[in-house]
Structure 1
Amino acid sequence: MLKIIFRCALVSILLTATFAANADVNRALTNMCEIVKSNDKSELRKKIHNVATYYRMKLNDYYDAVSCDGYSLIRAAILFNALESGSLLIKKMPRGALAAPEADGKTLQAWVAEQGLNNTEIAMLLNDRL
């Protein structure tokens, strides 16, 4: 009987810790869109570093989970002409992830071409990276 109670307590503690960690990561990523929109490369670098340090997550791990008005971080950087933030994001993301389709099924290059943003500096950086 004591073993069952101990196991239940251990499972509940582990589940609570898991949910708390997810809440903390979400809290840490809350203002990431604002940082990208304001083109603050230094603050974005700190945010990426802090998430990597405290939660052991790389940008690629949480990139899809962050949405800026329905756009991914790089799409938001392109739309808001945030060259510094966009260039950092493009450099930090693996090439395979940059070439992969996003949530809407379009790759970054296809979306940029569809929006007519091929001549922006961020789009040129993206093409060079790929």
Structure 2
Amino acid sequence: MLKIVKTSIAIATASLIYAGNAQADINDALQNICTIVKADDKGELRRKMRRVQSDYNLKLKDYYTGVSCGGNSLIRTAMLNNSEETGTLMIKKMPRGDLKAPEKDGKTVLVWASENGLGTSPIVTALNDRI
């Protein structure tokens, strides 16, 4: 009987240690998302979004506002780097209401784009079509 109790405690302890190491922080999972957007790697961005959704049960709308690439949001970063494929993918994945909402600086993506001379960007066209 004592052997069974000791074995159960050992297994429980080992599983807790393993589970603690297996759980990575969401910040680690999103660490290179800015690089992916800048490189316009749509496939890698799609894989990253799927991985975050399966591991943390979060969709793009849940972490979009928390990610900043040099002070800009992900869609703004895509516009600045002419990353058309990743920019349009993010626009398709975001809810319309979130796309219309002002960002941290109080400006919507459309207002910001027109102020920065990016009004003719294909990403802005996709954004206008979506809104």
- % identical aligned pairs: 56
Structure 2 stretches lacking a partner, 5+ long: 1-19
Compute the TM-score of the two structures, normalised by the length of structure 1: 0.82
Q: What CA distance in whole angstroms lies between the structure 1 residues aligned with 2:129 and 2:117? A: 17
SS in 2 for 1:67: coil
Structure 1 stretches lacking a partner, 5+ long: 1-16
Q: What CA distance in whole angstroms lies between the structure 1 residues aligned with 2:121 and 2:74? A: 16
Q: Which runs of 4+ in 1 moved over 2 A?
A: none
Amino acid paired to 2:63 = Y
The count of residues paired between Structure 1 and Structure 2 equals 112
Instruction: Kindly indicate whether residue 75 of structure 2 is the aligned counterpart of residue 74 of structure 1.
Output: yes
Report the counterpart of residue 28 of structure 1 in structure 2. 29
Tell me how far 1:63 sits from its aligned partner. Answer: 0.3
SS in 2 for 1:57: coil
Q: What CA distance in whole angstroms lies between the structure 1 residues aligned with 2:120 and 2:114? A: 9
Question: For the pair shown, which has the larger CA radius of gyration, 1 or 2?
Answer: 2
Q: What CA distance in whole angstroms lies between the structure 2 residues aligned with 1:120 and 1:57? A: 29
Per-residue CA distance 1:8-59 (angstroms, 9 max, x = gap):
xxxxxxxxx7xx96x6100000000000000000000000000000100010
CA RMSD of aligned residues (A): 1.6
